[in-house]
Amino acid sequence: MSVLVEKMNVLAGHFREERKALSKAHEETKIGEVTAGQVLGGMRGIPALVCDTSSVNADEGLRIRNIPILDLTTKLPEEIFWLLLTGEHPTSAEVEELRAEFANHADIPDYVFDVLKAMPADSHPMTMFSTAVLVMGRESKFRKQYDEGLGKNDLWKPMLEDSIILLGRITGIAAAIYRLKFRDGSRIAPDPSLDWGANYAKMLGVSDNPKFTELIRMYLVLHSDHEGGNVSAMTGNTVSSALSDIYYSISAALNGLAGPLHGLANQECLAFVMEIYEHFKGVPSDEDLKKFAWDRLNSGQVIPGYGHAVLRVEDPRFTAFYNFGKANIDTTQDPIFGIVDALYKVIPGVLTEQGKAKNVKPNVDAASGSLLYHFGLKEYDFYTVMFGVSRAMGICAQVVLARAAGNGLIRPKGLTTPQLKKLLGA
């Protein structure tokens, strides 16, 4: 931990100076124009935030610290968290330091389980997950130090400490929710010698297959971050900008991730695949699948797992999952991945024919669920929690960096419709 804090201390100083200099020299420099369409369309595409952890280009997809995500798929999640924060690849000693830090914080206070058990049995796993994170706010180091008069330049330090504690616990919390909701409620203890991803795979208790562990690590890496403007990252950043602690920030981010146009889409994707399976009792022919997709579109529904708000090419995270499936799953033995494979061949053509979607290619959610399903993690209500565990890494890194850079309160201007109409001369 100390090496990471020391490194971050040096970086934070440079970071703050750079931001100060940019603000001073360019306070009035215009970097774009805003159209009424963008304002009415959910602030779509307005360059309004600085996020250094990762970037997403329409024609390429995710880069973490300017490294294409497909070059990082075999890294450990610990390496990715270090990279997100510092912009540097950690040495093996540094990876071990972070791994041990996460393992040291793997113990979860009993009151978290008491709260989870007290929740109504039909609570969605994401509601349970967000609640479990929020309830730990009483332990925030940031809140305590802030109350004691923490200086502005040091606001990021306890935020980083809280992030490490939260990430250390978050896999155990997610696994506990899984086992409470879908198994007998017993919890599997973490193994302090394992890495973060392997421990998570172990605590879920669905498969001993080393390929499942490999998948979980890759899942954590692929979902770790997606720049700053998506619903969950922006929400986490906005809440943190009010100097709320990491528990408030990540819980709020998870609430955004729980929406069907964002993280919940991966649950909907597998539900869609299962619907096809139930309907055809196996993998349908391309013709049958095409008709099924058209019927869905004609009833006013979207095709889950296809299209993207920013990307205009196949999502490289889908590519990674799909390649993993192709390498490890025999589609003649597993109709669920077989349907995912068949959809990949058919849906882009259907959506092109329909002519509405700006991107007809698969996104990250199109294949991830079928792989979890293959290894026995079949309860797709849980899939957004899987996503949330991973994304917590990126949002923690983003809010720590925002504090280190001395970013201000996020406060765009809201307009009434009459004010907008006046601006438009309408």
Q: Which of 307/394 has CB closer to ligand HAX?
A: 307
Closest CB 383 distance from ligand HAX, rounded Å: 11
Residues in the chain: 426
Residue 262 lies near ligand HAX (rule: CB under 6 A): yes
Tokens of 264: 């919940």
Choose one: 248-256, 281-289, 295-303, 416-424; the region binding ligand HAX (CB under 6 A): 295-303
Residue 365 lies near ligand HAX (rule: CB under 6 A): yes
Q: Which of 155/351 has CB closer to ligand HAX?
A: 351
Residue 304 lies near ligand HAX (rule: CB under 6 A): yes
Cα separation of 178 and 184, whole Å? 10
Tokens of 230: 């998506």
CB 235 within 8 A of CB 356: no
Which of 14, 356, 421, 422 forms a contact with ligand HAX (CB under 6 A)? 356
Cα separation of 98 and 401, whole Å? 18
Residue 361 lies near ligand HAX (rule: CB under 6 A): no
Identity of the residue numbered 233:
A
Which of 263, 284, 325, 335 forms a contact with ligand HAX (CB under 6 A)? 263
Residue 363 lies near ligand HAX (rule: CB under 6 A): yes
Residue 390 class from Cβ within 10 Å (0-12 exposed, 13-18 middle, 19+ buried)? buried
Q: Which of 14/356 has CB closer to ligand HAX?
A: 356
Residue nearest ligand HAX by beta-carbon distance: 307
Choose one: 12-20, 83-91, 191-199, 297-305; the region binding ligand HAX (CB under 6 A): 297-305
Residue 138 class from Cβ within 10 Å (0-12 exposed, 13-18 middle, 19+ buried)? exposed
Q: How many residues bind ligand HAX (CB under 6 A)?
A: 21
Nearest to 347 by CA among 242, 255, 269, 267: 269
Q: Which of 109/260 has CB closer to ligand HAX?
A: 260
Closest CB 265 distance from ligand HAX, rounded Å: 3
Residue 5 lies near ligand HAX (rule: CB under 6 A): no
Q: What is the dihedral of CA 320, 214, 365, 410, to 10 degrees?
A: -100
Nearest to 232 by CA among 244, 245, 250: 250
Residue list 230-259, contact with ligand HAX (CB under 6 A): none
Cα separation of 114 and 92, whole Å? 38
Residue 265 lies near ligand HAX (rule: CB under 6 A): yes
Which residue has tokens 């692929």? Answer: 222
Cα separation of 247 and 204, whole Å? 23
Other CB atoms closer than 10 Å to residue 9's CB: what's the count?
A: 14
Q: Which of 177/351 has CB closer to ligand HAX?
A: 351
Q: What are phi and psi of 61, to 5 degrees?
A: 95, -160
Residue 357 lies near ligand HAX (rule: CB under 6 A): yes
Residue 307 lies near ligand HAX (rule: CB under 6 A): yes
Which residue has tokens 């309004």? Answer: 48
Closest CB 7 distance from ligand HAX, rounded Å: 31
Cα separation of 289 and 350, whole Å? 10
Active site residue ranges: 262, 308, 365
Cα separation of 240 and 236, whole Å? 6
Closest CB 270 distance from ligand HAX, rounded Å: 12
Which residue has tokens 């922006």? Answer: 234
Residue 309 lies near ligand HAX (rule: CB under 6 A): yes
Q: Which of 87/259 has CB closer to ligand HAX?
A: 259
Closest CB 300 distance from ligand HAX, rounded Å: 9
Which residue has tokens 């597998």? Answer: 270
Closest CB 294 distance from ligand HAX, rounded Å: 11
Q: Which of 43/261 has CB closer to ligand HAX?
A: 261
Q: Which of 222/357 has CB closer to ligand HAX?
A: 357
Closest CB 366 distance from ligand HAX, rounded Å: 7
Cα separation of 121 and 237, whole Å? 31
Which of 160, 273, 303, 377 forms a contact with ligand HAX (CB under 6 A)? 303
Residue 261 lies near ligand HAX (rule: CB under 6 A): yes
3-class SS at 16? Answer: helix
Residue 194 class from Cβ within 10 Å (0-12 exposed, 13-18 middle, 19+ buried)? middle
Per the DSSP assignment, residues forming a β-bridge with 67 are: 64
Residue list 20-79, contact with ligand HAX (CB under 6 A): none
Closest CB 350 distance from ligand HAX, rounded Å: 9
**What does the binding site for ligand HAX look like in residue numbers (CB under 6 A)?**
261-263, 265, 297, 302-309, 351, 356-359, 363-365
